[in-house]
Structure 1
Amino acid sequence: MHRIAPGKLATAVFTALAVTAVPLATTASAAPSTLAPQASSAAAAAAAKDTFYTYDGSKPLASYAPGDVLKTRTMNYHVLGIGTPVKATQLLFRTVDAKGRPSAGVTSIVRSPSGDGSKAVSYQSFYDSLDPEHGPSRAIAGDVSLGGLIANGESLLMVPLLLAGYNVVIPDTEGQTANFAAGPEYGTNTLDSIRAASRSPETGLNPTTRFGMAGYSGGAIATHWAAALAPSYAPDVNRRLVGYAEGGLLVNPAHNLKYIGGSSIWAGVAPMAVIGAARAYDIDFTPYLNSYGLQVFKKLEKASIINALGQYPGLTWKKLVKPQYENPNSVAPFLEAVNKLNLGSAATPQIPGYIAQGNGGVFEGTLSNLPGIGRGDGVMVAGDVRGLARQYCDKGNAAIKYDQFELLSHVGAAVPWAPTALGWLNDRFAGKKAPSDCGRIPAGNSLEPEVPAAG
């Protein structure tokens, strides 16, 4: 671990976060039905006035290279709308969406009080929302919304990184249309965010800065897809990556849909993921939905995960669709989307990885134990994560450290993951040999692509 040397900026971070920690916890526990309309309208009003997110240049967006900086601004870092003494630089940059079309992304960079720009961590948020106004950049800029509470709370995770000398890059991984769970788009947004941060003189970073990547849950989706896509999509970035640390990973969405179906807390995340995939790949799912499904999809089209957790106990795919589509694999667009999002079919990362996964999902209301899927942490399937880790070992990437926390749920497993991830990243930057659990990882699930339903 790096020695923590408090400086004025770091002290300001701790002070600001300590002041806001209590109201954050209080607000988060309030009833969504009370807060959501007010918070949403406040955020929408603020966002409507913020032209930073819109590319309005005279040149076509396609004429820029991925990672090119389009706009720059520096502001005070906000927590729950309250400005702190900490400065953040935000960049609008050129990237691509899930279908490879030019798009504009946003990222935020916070400089360490003791860093020299030689090392940085790209931290991928788990803001998990279908509303672009809930992205971390919006919270950092001062917007306040119910969905933005997650990004505000994650500010606490920045402190150890900043004090350890890392500049921290925080991309809006879901893009500006908030394509929740669309992993490949998360990955390109993350990689082009690193490119942009390295090209902007205001960030203190440069094209030789070494990067580590970290993220949990939704942040793990972005982190892992970035690691998988980097060799082909961004070899210039891949050469500078020291490794990735993640926990609570979505591997095969088709398995997750079945795993959380009928659960008491996580069931509402399934339609959110289908909406996100549909948005990313221009799929119209309405012909397959029954009246209740149409109602749920309409209600969730701009929802945060906060609006879904515990709100749809017992919800299943069967309850959302017309009788002839009760088997998800009978819906061709669904099959196409989930196979594109299956990490088991993606490339093998060429850098070391630390992957952590909980397996105590019964504590978060997910009791299912289906053949070929098994148990998980409540939302993510442990057997899928093991299968992916073993696949990497078999394909020659032996630098995989894997932790499975048998008695911890999705939320609970984040607690031991965070400090372990920081220590693991510290060692990679220090040049220490990456540990390997290859040969000791228990058997996992098959990650073969889904096939159409018979008949």
Structure 2
Amino acid sequence: MYKTTDRDGTPIAVTGTVITPRGPWMGLGERPIVGYAPGTQGLGDHCAPSQQMAMGSEYEGPFIEGLLMRGYGIAITDYEGLGTPGVHTYVNRVVSGRAVLDSIRAAQRLPEAGLPDNGPVAIAGYSQGGGAAAAAAEIAPDYAPELKLKGVAASAIPADLYKVGVNLDGGVYAAFLGYAAIGLAAGYGIDMAPYLNDRGKALFAELEQHCTIQAVAKYALTRSETLTADGKPLTDLLNNNPQLKAVVDEQLMGRVKPRVPVLVTHTVLDDVIPIAVGRKVVKDWCGLGANVKFETNLSPTHVGGAIAAYPTVFGWLEARFAGVPALGNCWAQ
């Protein structure tokens, strides 16, 4: 358990996991730490990555194992509200970025971990984790300037929640739209009940208990207009209600320049986060003068895109920790 801050800057406790390889670090300098931002886990406390790893059911285990095989220390946040009081503030930009950065700080200060307290660090994440990693890249200079951040690998970034929500509604991953509505409302103290019909209230209550795989299977193809009080899609509500629209707009990424190299990967065939959303945040960062490398692949589906990106991300992180200059490709965007 470690301290971070919520959206308003109030100190809060979150949990996470720190893993140190048994073998000695064979690379240059001190052993690096990678702050790993997990992808969508669910909203129930039992869905927290720390809980999933303890049970052997964490679906991102293969990527984490790949980081360990390369000798990195790893700090994995559970985010706000997963395993700690309150509802998980899913896809809340600032809160997620702070949780990732503070997980690295906590790992540096954890005696049992045996990790350097001032060594090189990097951040990686995919999907929800890609958003948290991207947020950390944007806020790091002001929030955690002391970290020796070498780079951020943010993949399949949900940089524009409205466009992602439109894509999710009625699809296989419709549950993620519900997660987003619940998480944003929790982060901003908004009561969603007046906007939902009886079915919507019941479904939202159920979603707060379900982990990703169960929720995806149970609520696939659900159309959000069947859940709202006015019979209109949730995305219409998020775009037209001034209070909710302001909340969604605050999550938009690409308006703050990352000051470290960033790798963005995305499959052209992503069925969760449209490739256009990934391209847009890259173009926005490039327009601000950031050092960005954008790598696409043709692996089918959102899940396939994550697996296809593993070698690219591993190689890119190795180069950052080896001190190799990061060559972006903004010229090609």
Q: Work out whether the TM-score is over 0.5.
A: yes
What is the aligned partner in structure 2 of residue 13 from structure 1? none
Match for residue 304 of structure 2 among 402, 406, 412: 412
Which protein has the larger Cα radius of gyration, Structure 1 or Structure 2?
1
The residue correspondences of 1:415-454 to structure 2 (distance < 5 A) are: 415-441=307-333
Q: Which runs of 4+ in 1 moved over 3 A?
A: none
- Contact 1:173 / 1:187 at 8 angstroms: preserved in 2? no
Q: Conserved in 2, the CA contact under 8 Å of 1:121 and 1:168?
A: yes
Work out which of the residue numbers 195, 204, 208 in structure 2 matches 1:301: 208
Asked whether 1:186 is paired with 2:96, we answer yes
Deviation, structure 1 residue 407: 4.9
Provide closer, same or farther for how the CA distance between residues 124 and 96 of structure 1 changes in structure 2, counting only shifts above 3 A.
same
Map of 1:336 onto structure 2? 246
Equivalent-residue separation in structure 2 for 1:313 and 1:108 (angstroms) = 31
Inter-partner Cα distance in structure 2 for 1:339 and 1:383: 17
Q: Assess if the C-alpha contact under 8 Å between 2:31 and 2:71 holds in 1.
A: no
Residue 267 of structure 2 is matched in structure 1 by 358
Tell whether the 8 Å contact from 1:215 to 1:246 is kept in structure 2 after alignment. Answer: yes
Q: For residues 174 and 409 of structure 1, what CA distance do their matches in structure 2 show?
A: 28
Structure 2 SS opposite 1:439: helix
- After TM superposition, list the pairs within 5 Å mapping 1:84-99 onto structure 2: 92-99=1-8
Q: 2:35: which partner in 1?
A: 122
Instruction: Note the 1:22-61 alignment, pairs <5 A.
Output: none
Instruction: Identify which of 257, 260, 274 aligns with 2:165.
Output: 257
Residue 65 of structure 2 corresponds to which residue in structure 1? 159
How far does residue 350 in structure 1 lie from its aligned partner after superposition? 0.7
Residue 206 of structure 1: how far off its partner (Å): 3.0
Q: Measure the CA separation in 1 of the matches of 2:208 and 2:293.
A: 37
SS in 2 for 1:244: strand
SS of residue paired to 1:309? helix
The CA distance in 1 between the partners of 2:15 and 2:111, in whole Å, is 16
Q: Which residue of 2 aligns with 1:228?
A: 138
Q: 2:295 matched to 1:403?
A: yes
- Opposite residue 166 of structure 1, the aligned amino acid is Y
CA drift at 1:275 = 0.5
Question: Would the aligned equivalents of 1:128 and 1:304 in 2 still touch at CA under 8 Å?
Answer: yes
Residue 76 (structure 2) aligns with: 170
Q: Which runs of 5+ in 2 are unaligned?
A: none
Following superposition, the deviation at residue 95 of structure 1 comes to: 0.9
Q: TM-score by structure 1 length?
A: 0.67
Q: Which residue of 2 aligns with 1:381?
A: 274
Kindly tell me the number of residue pairs found equivalent between the two proteins: 322
Which residue does the alignment assign to 2:153? 245
More relative contact order, 1 or 2 (CA 8 Å, 6+ apart): 2
Structure 1 residues 407 and 422: alpha-carbon distance in aligned structure 2, compared to 1, 3 A threshold? closer
Structure 1 Cα separation of the partners of residues 70 and 116 of structure 2: 19
Indicate the SS of the match to 1:302.
coil
CA distance in 2, matches of 1:98, 1:402: 29
> Take 1:333 and 1:155, find their aligned partners in 2: how far apart are those partners?
38
Instruction: Report the 3-state secondary structure (helix = DSSP H, G, I; strand = E; otherwise coil) of the residue aligned with 2:15.
Output: strand
Aligned-CA RMSD value: 2.0
Deviation for aligned residue 1:428: 0.8
Q: For residue 334 of structure 1, report the CA deviation from its aligned partner.
A: 2.0
Out of 175, 184, 188, which is 1:281 matched to? 188
Report the equivalent of 2:52. Answer: 139
Q: Secondary structure at the match of 1:235?
A: coil
Distance 2:214 2:8 in 1: 28
Partner of 1:79: none
Q: Using a 3 Å threshold, how does the CA distance of structure 1 residues 331 and 324 change in structure 2: closer, same or farther?
A: farther
- Taking structure 1 as reference, are residues 158 and 324 closer, same or farther at Cα in structure 2, changes over 3 Å only? closer
- Taking the aligned partners of 1:385 and 1:241, their CA distance within structure 2 comes to 22
Q: Within 1, Cα distance between the matches of 2:188 and 2:164?
A: 19
Q: 1:323 to 1:127 in 2, by over 3 A?
A: closer
Change (3 A) 1:324 1:131: closer
Name the CA shift for 1:395/1:305 in 2 (closer, same or farther; >3 Å).
same
Q: Check the 8 A contact 2:40/2:127 in 1, yes or no.
A: no
Q: Provide the residue aligned with 1:366 in structure 2.
A: none
Aligned to 2:128: 218
Q: Is the 8 A contact 1:214 1:245 kept in 2?
A: yes
Quick check: 1:95–1:189 contact (8 Å CA) kept in 2? yes
Indicate if the aligned counterparts of 2:41 and 2:49 stay in contact, CA closer than 8 A: no
Residue identity opposite 2:307 in structure 1: V
CA contact (8 A) 2:3 2:13 kept: yes
Change (3 A) 1:338 1:205: same
The aligned amino acid for 1:391 is D
Which residue identity lines up with residue 154 of structure 1 in the other structure?
E
CA deviation profile, 1:20-46 (whole Å, cap 9, x unmatched)? xxxxxxxxxxxxxxxxxxxxxxxxxxx
User: In the alignment, is the contact (CA less than 8 A) between 1:174 and 1:182 conserved in 2?
Assistant: no
